[in-house]
A and B are shown apart, each in its own frame.
Chain A
């Protein structure tokens, strides 16, 4: 079955960097766009970024552009989210999600998430 597993979260000081990882299995990983979506504690969902199936296309939420890098290694079925200059408002659970690739950006499978806490 389709499985996505995030890792790399933890407590980090403001201004520092963190790299999150997303491991996919149970499907042809290199066929699918992968997204990152975050959820601050007690709040709603916010789309963060995506990377296309071959890594050739990526995009970021406007409020986060410039502080993020997304990459993938299809030989390892992995996607990475590099977050720089972290702020307290970046504290959230970060989910990776598979795109159904119908052209309408639907998230058909989600990981369980990894918690990032930005605090001194």
Chain B
């Protein structure tokens, strides 16, 4: 089955840029979605279809996807961005919906 690999943790100082990666075999040929999950809360979609931003999500959140890596970038990081972030794809060849293991973003 298709596997998505994320770093377990990412740390960044306030005001800096956080980069969270999501690796997968030829992931660039798939559409990647990203979710933020704050402690005790449900996930929230923050980037869809590689780089689209849903209504209400700040411009500080952006995404890209090419080759074997998709990336979620958060600029001007704030304390409120501290959360778990999950990538997700639909693998059409296996018809599986797959999540990455999640990355915990810590704001120092």
User: What is A's interface to B at a CB cutoff of 8 Å?
Assistant: 35, 37, 44-47, 50, 59, 62, 95, 97, 100, 102, 104-113
- A110 CA to B90 CA in the complex, in Å? 18
Q: Give the Cβ gap from A99 to chain B, nearest Cβ, in Å.
A: 10
Q: For the complex formed, measure the closest distance between the CB of A82 and the CB atoms of chain B, giving whole angstroms.
A: 20
* Residue among A44, A50, A102, A104 with the highest chain B CB neighbour number at 10 A: A104
Q: List 24 A-B contacts (CB under 8 A).
A: A37-B43, A44-B102, A45-B43, A45-B88, A45-B99, A47-B97, A47-B98, A47-B99, A59-B95, A62-B1, A62-B96, A95-B42, A102-B48, A104-B31, A104-B33, A105-B90, A105-B97, A106-B31, A106-B45, A106-B49, A106-B88, A107-B33, A108-B48, A113-B42
Instruction: Contacts A44-B86, A47-B96, A95-B43 known; list 19 others, CB within 8 Å.
Output: A35-B97, A44-B100, A45-B88, A47-B97, A47-B98, A97-B43, A100-B48, A104-B33, A106-B45, A106-B48, A107-B33, A107-B35, A107-B43, A108-B48, A108-B54, A110-B42, A111-B42, A112-B41, A112-B42
Task: Decide: A44 near B42, CB < 8 A? Known: A59-B95, A108-B54.
Answer: no
On whether the beta carbons of A110 and B44 are closer than 8 Å, the reply is yes
**Cα-based distance from A105 to B49 in the complex (angstroms):** 10
When C-beta atoms are compared, the residue in chain B nearest to A96 turns out to be B42
The number of chain B residues with a CB under 8 A from chain A is 24
B82-106 contacts to A (CB < 8 Å): 86, 88, 90, 95-102
Which of B1, B48, B97, B102 has most chain A Cβ within 10 Å? B97
Give the chain A neighbours of B99 by CB distance below 8 A: 44-47
Instruction: Choose from A45, A108, A109, A111 the contact partner of B86 (Cβ within 8 Å).
Output: A45
- Say whether, besides A45-B99, A47-B99, A108-B54, A102 and B90 are in contact (CB < 8 Å): no
Chain B contacts for A109, CB-based, 8 A = 45
